[in-house]
């Protein structure tokens, strides 16, 4: 039997400990089907490349030389993979640990749904082993957000059926090579967050089906990549949500402006609360998040994309 050729792309940015743990879990994966693993280092400054090479000398490392974000870094890997003879490309977050049958389960799902060309894993929380963090999502135009009936739920066996969805999380996204060959790569303007949503939306418009693969299980250290903390996340979430809407939403202009106004109102309210109350640490952090969200919205309207301002990144 010929197994589909699959390459696993792991993006690392100053996360050598997580990446090594992820690679160790891949090493424990069942011996078949055959797969290749490649690490893309996104300009790390923590001696990641040396540490990973020492721990796993057989794993190739592609060095980008600078932080290109989730989209840009993975695009380097996807372009490399398209130049080879791989049938499937799996994007896998470095802050994950996989089940031993993870790869085999993904490929079984692809065999069960041959019309599917993008598949998403069942993602549990690393620190809450039975709680589902992600299992696909559906677009709710009324809220201008994605929704999932599995998010935050304890896995009681109710989420075993494969479902066709609007998008799956880039934390563990399996794509057939035909998808990027037809629609192109991840949109690098997003840098971080919403890029896989945009990729899935473009794939769906091009006629590709997107499915969940609930038997493919892994555990994710949620938000490990957000070294700047919640302000960092809020900046990207608000800015890139508007970018997603402008690229994929119907009647998006009204939504974009209404969401922008809503965030600015919230930030103003929190600022007034801080002015009239004692600014303890919790209130200060909340205000930082709203200000970061407002800055993200402002940068969307100014057309400033890519990485966030360095001041939002908390120094370690």
- Write the pLDDT tens digit of every residue in 170-196: 999 999 999 999 999 999 999 999 999
**Are 213 and 121 contacting, i.e. CB atoms less than 8 angstroms apart?**
yes
| Entry pTM | 0.91
Q: Does the pLDDT value for residue 248 go beyond 50?
A: yes
- From CA 71, how far away is CA 188, in angstroms rounded? 5
Cβ-based burial of 119 (10 A; exposed 0-12, middle 13-18, buried ≥19) = buried
Q: Does the pLDDT value for residue 119 go beyond 80?
A: yes
Q: What is the pLDDT of residues 44-85, one digit of tens each?
A: 999 999 999 999 999 999 999 999 999 999 999 999 999 999
**Are 75 and 188 contacting, i.e. CB atoms less than 8 angstroms apart?**
yes
- From CA 220, how far away is CA 237, in angstroms rounded? 19
Pairing of strands 88-93, 6-12: parallel
Token code pair at residue 180: 């990027």
Nearest to 197 by CA among 216, 210, 214: 210
Q: Which residue has the higher pLDDT, 262 or 229?
A: 262
Per-residue CA distances from 3 to 25, 80, 136 (Å): 21, 21, 26
DSSP conformational letter for 279: -
Query: Across-strand partners of 124?
Result: 132, 219
**CATH fit for domain 6-220, picks 3.90.550.60, 3.40.50.1980, 3.20.20.70, 3.40.50.300:** 3.90.550.60
Residue 72: φ, ψ to 5°? -65, -40
**Are 109 and 211 contacting, i.e. CB atoms less than 8 angstroms apart?**
yes
Enumerate the domain spans of the chain: 6-220, 230-312
- From CA 249, how far away is CA 226, in angstroms rounded? 27
């Amino acid at each position: 039997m010929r197994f589909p050729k699959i390459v696993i792309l792991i993006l690392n940015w100053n996360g050598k400990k997580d990446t090594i743990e992820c690679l160790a879990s891949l090493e424990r994966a069942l011996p078949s089907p055959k797969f290749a693993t490649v690490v893309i280092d996104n300009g790390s400054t923590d001696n990641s490349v040396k540490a990973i090479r020492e721990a796993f000398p057989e794993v190739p490392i592609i060095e980008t030389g600078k932080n290109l974000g989730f989209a840009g870094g993975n695009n380097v890997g996807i372009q490399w993979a398209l130049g080879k003879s791989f049938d499937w490309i799996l994007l896998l977050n470095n802050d994950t640990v996989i089940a031993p049958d993870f790869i085999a389960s993904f490929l079984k799902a692809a065999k069960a749904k041959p019309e599917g060309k993008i598949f998403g894993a069942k993602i549990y929380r690393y620190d809450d082993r039975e709680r589902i963090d992600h299992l696909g999502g559906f677009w709710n135009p009324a809220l201008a957000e994605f929704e999932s009936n599995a998010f935050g739920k304890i896995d009681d066996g109710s989420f075993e059926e494969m479902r066709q969805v609007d998008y799956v999380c880039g934390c563990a996204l399996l794509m057939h090579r035909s998808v990027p060959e037809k629609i192109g790569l991840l949109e690098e303007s997003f840098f971080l967050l919403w890029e896989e949503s945009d990729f899935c939306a473009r794939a769906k418009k091009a006629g590709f089906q997107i499915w969940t693969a609930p038997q493919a299980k892994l555990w994710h250290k949620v938000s490990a990549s957000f070294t700047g903390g919640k302000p960092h996340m809020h900046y990207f979430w608000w800015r890139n949500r508007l970018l997603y809407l402008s690229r994929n939403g119907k009647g998006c202009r009204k939504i974009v402006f209404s969401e922008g106004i809503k965030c600015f109102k919230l930030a103003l309210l929190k600022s007034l609360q801080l002015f009239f109350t004692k600014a303890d640490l919790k209130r200060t952090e909340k205000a930082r998040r709203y200000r970061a969200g407002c800055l993200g919205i402002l940068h969307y309207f100014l057309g400033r994309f890519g990485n966030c301002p360095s001041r939002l990144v908390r120094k370690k």
